[in-house]
Chain A
């Protein structure tokens, strides 16, 4: 395991060390070590999330293409009202036919997991005085003394030498993590997803339970994580929240409450300016429309045959 992850240790530690030395030019080469190390971890998150932005844009684009598929989706939902399995199956068929799939796949998570694990090891290395990658020698000593609001980056809630300040900071970070995840999930469930019949929807019920289980999971695992990892986690959660907020406001999933809100807003705007609704559609959708319009017919024929 260690040898496979070794290149990642180098990559992660290189990014942190580089951010640290770059920040040296801003706040002073040999001062403000605590701020520099804390911001370096946040910088790592921002870098990773920026790298993942193209995937996010791709997802938004396919979500926009869904607008054109709306009538089909409604038809499927009506046709297989009592059979969720058939409903999902038909939905996937529809996506494939139109070569657009709004789902993200596991890739973004699977890509981030090893980085998270490597960061965990590197930060733990600081606590245990074991060098990893580029984080060694003087840098390691300097990082060991770095603090985030008075808590050592490398200490955990449960470690024996932890003071009250560290406990307060870790608890605050765990609460922050739970709060951002809770609001992100809730916002998605309340506004971002197409309305479904909740009585026969196991998934929705499960998600509702999970909403309240997360904070517990975070609390249990968070007390074992060094402050540096908690900073990483909190920043990622905050970024996810912001990203989703943007999507729900500007590019909501068709059929969701947020989508209807946006449509109402646009309709009201059109009334005010006296423009026909069709002409104000965003260029992205109008470009996709004709291509999909042509492909719609074969799928209808297929359904009639059944």
Chain B
């Protein structure tokens, strides 16, 4: 399930996202965040990703917001944005 989701995100990033241009208020972008969150946390990751999407709205100032690893609570910085 986690791999399928990551593949879906990859598809979105390659084919759909460029259509809208860079627009995410956060770093890493919501799509990267979602991929990381689901890979690391499974089902709980979906909720995290959904919450991130809600936070990324026109009234938000954005910022830097990494997914933290389960074990050591370190930000996941691997992979392209």
CA distance A51 to B21 in the complex (A): 22
Neighbouring A residues of B26 by C-beta, 8 Å: 92
For residue B13, give the distance in angstroms from its CB to the closest CB of chain A.
Answer: 9
For residue A221, give the distance in angstroms from its CB to the closest CB of chain B.
Answer: 12
Instruction: Report whether A96 and B14 are in contact in the complex, using a CB–CB cutoff of 8 Å.
Output: no
For residue B37, give the distance in angstroms from its CB to the closest CB of chain A.
Answer: 16
For residue A59, give the distance in angstroms from its CB to the closest CB of chain B.
Answer: 8
Instruction: Report whether B21 and A95 are in contact in the complex, using a CB–CB cutoff of 8 Å.
Output: no
For residue B68, give the distance in angstroms from its CB to the closest CB of chain A.
Answer: 15
Q: How many cross-chain pairs have Cβ atoms below 8 Å apart between A and B?
A: 76
Say whether, besides A58-B58, A85-B81, A107-B58, A101 and B25 are in contact (CB < 8 Å). yes
Residue B76 CB within 8 A of the other chain: no
Instruction: Report whether A89 and B19 are in contact in the complex, using a CB–CB cutoff of 8 Å.
Output: no
Proximity bits, A92-121, B CB within 8 Å = 1, else 0? 110110011101111111100000000000
Partner of B60, one of A55, A93, A105, A209: A105
Neighbouring B residues of A92 by C-beta, 8 Å: 25-27, 62-64
Proximity bits, B15-34, A CB within 8 Å = 1, else 0? 10011111111110010000
18 residue pairs A–B, Cβ–Cβ below 8 Å: A84-B81, A85-B81, A88-B81, A92-B64, A95-B63, A96-B62, A96-B63, A101-B25, A103-B23, A104-B23, A105-B25, A105-B58, A106-B20, A106-B24, A107-B56, A107-B57, A203-B18, A203-B22
